[in-house]
């Protein structure tokens, strides 16, 4: 939606990692081991993927899910300084744990095109075919409550400090993310436009 509205790239490091895992690349297989256990992929792997993407693209962008640690944030600063394009905004999507658990329990992904849907929002049930291509939907391996619990521990230890990191620089925008996607998107648009 952001890409269509603003004509900017919206790379998702998580999606890139899943593509690498599906292609059975060395990076993809290494990353899959971490994500299956609900752990963050080490900074050096994530930074290498982000740097590779930035090298191949000389345009405006909004990373989805990157950076997730202070080390990744500092690496992104270095990459952007080399390009003479400082970071203009960081967005924190704020949401409570109960909503996260509910969303994870309803999230499905298409086995063919990778489209992510939510039961009750995009499709009626787990047996509904992908609305994009008609293929079978399935749960991601890391979409379990055990993996989520581990991800939340990792988030508090490694990702939560980024909120202060970007707030101190005056570029952090908080967006309440428990609402429907269209409402959250409207809030993100307001933040980007201001």
- What's 170's domain CATH number? 3.40.50.300
Torsion of CA 86, 173, 6, 52, to 10 degrees: 50
Instruction: Report helix, strand and coil shares of the chain as percent, to nearest 5.
Output: 50, 15, 35
| Cβ-based neighbour number of residue 36 at 10 Å | 14
pLDDT in tens, 160-180: 999 999 999 999 999 999 998
Expressed in angstroms, the distance from the first to the final Cα of the chain is: 18
pLDDT in tens, 121-163: 999 999 999 999 999 999 987 788 888 998 899 999 999 999 9
Most confidently predicted of 27-31, 32-36, 45-49, 142-146: 45-49
Strand 107-110, strand 116-118: pairing: antiparallel
Asked if residues 117 and 131 have their Cβ atoms less than 8 Å apart, the reply is yes
User: Total structural domains in the chain?
Assistant: 1
* Alpha-carbon distance values, 74 to 12, 30, 157 (Å): 18, 23, 17
CA distance 74 to 69: 9
CA distance 50 to 41: 13
76: confidence class by pLDDT, cuts 50, 70, 90? very high
52: confidence class by pLDDT, cuts 50, 70, 90? confident
Local structure of 71: helix, strand or coil: helix
CA distance 188 to 164: 19
CA distance 72 to 67: 5
What residue numbers bound the domain in which 85 lies? 2-193
Q: Which residues of 93-120 are buried (b: 16+ CB within 10 A; e: fewer)?
A: eeeeeeebeebbebbbbbeeeeeebebe
> What angle is formed at CA 128 by the lines to CA 124 and CA 134, rounded to 5 degrees?
135
């Amino acid at each position: 939606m952001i890409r269509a509205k603003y004509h900017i790239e919206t790379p998702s490091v998580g999606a890139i990692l899943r593509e690498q895992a599906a292609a059975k690349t060395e990076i993809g297989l290494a990353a899959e081991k971490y994500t299956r256990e609900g752990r963050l992929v080490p900074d050096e792997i994530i930074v290498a993927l982000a740097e590779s993407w930035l090298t191949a693209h000389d345009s405006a962008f909004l990373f989805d899910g990157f950076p997730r640690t202070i080390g990744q944030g500092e690496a992104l600063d270095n990459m952007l300084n080399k390009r003479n394009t400082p970071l203009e905004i960081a967005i924190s999507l704020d949401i409570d744990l109960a909503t996260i658990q509910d969303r994870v329990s309803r999230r499905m992904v298409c086995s063919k095109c990778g489209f992510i849907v939510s039961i009750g929002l995009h499709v009626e049930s787990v047996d509904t075919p992908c609305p994009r291509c008609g293929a079978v939907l399935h749960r991601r391996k890391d979409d379990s409550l055990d993996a989520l619990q581990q991800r939340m521990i990792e988030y508090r230890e490694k990702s939560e400090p980024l909120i202060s990191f970007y707030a101190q620089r005056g570029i952090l925008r908080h967006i309440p993310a428990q609402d429907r996607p269209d409402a959250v998107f409207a809030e993100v648009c307001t933040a980007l436009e201001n």
